[in-house]
């Protein structure tokens, strides 16, 4: 379902998360992000409990 997760570190404590659908490259709506993002964070070096999650202008942010 997903072929691309892009993460930008926009400041020292904020990550900007984009998830694209394979067929359209459209940003997936916010509620669809949580499952793949949780999976991504488990596989990565980030600890979910250290992040505050918020959503703005179609982009999901994780902020420490």
41's torsion region: left (phi>0), alpha (psi -120 to 50) or beta? alpha
Q: pLDDT tens across 52-63, in order?
A: 555 556 556 655
Domain regions of the chain by residue span:
2-63
Q: pLDDT tens across 3-49, in order?
A: 566 677 767 666 666 655 555 555 544 444 455 555 555 544 444 44
Between strands 59-63 and 14-21, the pairing is antiparallel
- What's the pLDDT at 43? 47
User: Is-contact 7 50, C-beta < 8 A?
Assistant: no
Whole-number Å distance between alpha carbons of 18 and 6: 5
- What's the pLDDT at 4? 61
- What's the pLDDT at 31? 42
């Amino acid at each position: 379902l997903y072929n691309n997760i892009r993460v930008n570190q926009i400041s020292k404590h904020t990550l900007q998360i984009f998830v694209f659908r394979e067929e359209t490259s459209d940003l997936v709506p916010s509620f669809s992000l949580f499952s793949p993002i949780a999976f991504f964070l488990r596989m990565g070096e980030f600890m979910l409990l250290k992040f505050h999650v918020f959503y703005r202008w179609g982009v999901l942010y994780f902020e420490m």
